[in-house]
Structures are given as structure tokens and as C-alpha cells.
């Protein structure tokens, strides 16, 4: 089991995690190693593509590290092979982004546990929001409830999920529709000690709660502007 400590998270922390990865990739892979001008339009296109791929790889590596006992629930065989290949490159020094410092006991080691927890949570939230059908979505909600929100050593994971629901409308709509998750999020809100500021109108939230037993997949329109910052 990975060691952990309790850390304070706020929404600005998430931006710092992302910016650190961007800066590290830019410095290590482009400016220092290859002496490339990152402001060159052609190089910028290549950098942005590599950054997107790099973010996905780090999310998968973090989820593999944090949820190592449950990897069969999160990855297919092809994804597991890709993760193992990435870890081999890390061990050989071929994969350098400034966030992963090595591999120990077949587990990727990030430079700080908070990065591991953040990117692992991001990966799970991505799976939930991009679920292809209602059954897949239900399975991910159950994983979040039974694993991430229940195990004693995942206090930071719970904090991150709670914080994300205050800024990610789609994630919150999906989670609050589940009765058990609503209770867990309320406990997280009380523990943090701050009012949960919803970006969903009270009337819309009530409709979702009343329809909590529906089997249909939950979707959110990107242009939905029925918001009320003072709701809930």
C-alpha cells in the first residue's frame, strides 16, 4: 500500500498541477534537450499534441499506481501493456517529463503523492464522464463509491473529487443523481467546512434527484446555461 498524508486542496491547486506538467514537458523535452523554439508555430503544434498524449499517459500511470489492486476494473489488456511499456521507458530513462522519478515494485513513482492522487482522480472522472452507456456509467459510479470514497487511505482522493464537483458541472450532475454519492459528497462538504456552491439551478438539481432511479445515461449539454451560483 502506498504511504499517504493528508493535504489541503483548493481549486487553484488543480491548475498548478496541470501547469507544472506543461512547464516540465516544455523545458525537458523541447527547450533543454532539443533546443527547440517552443514559440515556433510548427513546434507549438507538435508540443500541444505531445502534451495531450502526455497528460493521458500520466493519468493512466497515476491510476495504475493508486488503484493497483483494482486495475482489471479500469484498464483493458492493451492499456495495461501500454502502461507497462511506459514504465520500462521510465526505468531506462527514455520517458522524462519531470513528474515520474522512477518505478518501484512495478509501480510508477511520482515526485509527490499529490500528483499521483490528482491525476488518478482525473482519470476516473474522465471515464465516468465519457461512459459509453448507462451500465458503464453505473460501474464507474460504484467504483468511486466503493473504492475511492470508502477506503480509509483515500482521504485526499475524496477531497479532490469534492473539489472537482464545485467546478465541473457535468461531473456533479452525474454524481448527485446517485443517492449514496449525494450522501458522501455532503459529508465531504461538511468536512471541508465550506458551502457547496453549485453551478446547477435548484430546479434542475431537484429534477435529477427525483429521477435518480432511471437507467438512462446522464448527459450534459456543453451550452447549457441554466446555472445559479447560489443554489444548494
* pLDDT, tens only, 41-68: 777 787 788 778 888 999 999 999 999 9
Higher pLDDT, 198 or 113: 113
* 6-20, 23-37, 107-121, 197-211, range with the lowest pLDDT: 197-211
**DSSP string for residues in 29-68:** IIIISS---TTSHHHHHHHHHHHHHHHHHHHHHHHHHHTG
* pLDDT, tens only, 195-213: 444 433 434 444 444 444 4
Report the pLDDT averaged over residues 58-87: 94
Element (H, E) at 180: helix 179-192
Higher pLDDT, 23 or 105: 105
Cell numbers linked to 222: 456543453
Ordered by start, the domain boundaries in the chain are 11-167
For the chain, how many residues are written?
A: 232
Distances (CA, A) of 72 to 64, 98, 128: 10, 28, 16
Residue from 43, 205, 219 nearest 133 by CA: 219
Residue from 107, 196, 191 nearest 156 by CA: 191
Report the pLDDT averaged over residues 226-231: 38
Amino acid at each position: 500500500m502506498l504511504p499517504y498524508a493528508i493535504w489541503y486542496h483548493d481549486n487553484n491547486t488543480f491548475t498548478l498541477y496541470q501547469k507544472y506538467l506543461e512547464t516540465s514537458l516544455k523545458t525537458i523535452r523541447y527547450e533543454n534537450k532539443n533546443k527547440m523554439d517552443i514559440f515556433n508555430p510548427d513546434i507549438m503544434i507538435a508540443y500541444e499534441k505531445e502534451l495531450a498524449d502526455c497528460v493521458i499517459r500520466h493519468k493512466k500511470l497515476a491510476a495504475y499506481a493508486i488503484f493497483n489492486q483494482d486495475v482489471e476494473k479500469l484498464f483493458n489488456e492493451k492499456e495495461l501493456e501500454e502502461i507497462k511499456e511506459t514504465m520500462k521507458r521510465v526505468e531506462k530513462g527514455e520517458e522524462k517529463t519531470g513528474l515520474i522519478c522512477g518505478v518501484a515494485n512495478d509501480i510508477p513513482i511520482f515526485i509527490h503523492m499529490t500528483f499521483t492522487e490528482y491525476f488518478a482522480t482525473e482519470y476516473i472522472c474522465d471515464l465516468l464522464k465519457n461512459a459509453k452507456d448507462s451500465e458503464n456509467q453505473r460501474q464507474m459510479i460504484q467504483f468511486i463509491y466503493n473504492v475511492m470514497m470508502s477506503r480509509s487511505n483515500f482521504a485526499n482522493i475524496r477531497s479532490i473529487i469534492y473539489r472537482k464537483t464545485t467546478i465541473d458541472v457535468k461531473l456533479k450532475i452525474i454524481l448527485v443523481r446517485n443517492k449514496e454519492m449525494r450522501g458522501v459528497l455532503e459529508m465531504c462538504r461538511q468536512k471541508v467546512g465550506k458551502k457547496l456552491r453549485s453551478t446547477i439551478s435548484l430546479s434542475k438539481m431537484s429534477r435529477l434527484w427525483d429521477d435518480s432511479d432511471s437507467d438512462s445515461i446522464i448527459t450534459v449539454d456543453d451550452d447549457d446555461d441554466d446555472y445559479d451560483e447560489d443554489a444548494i
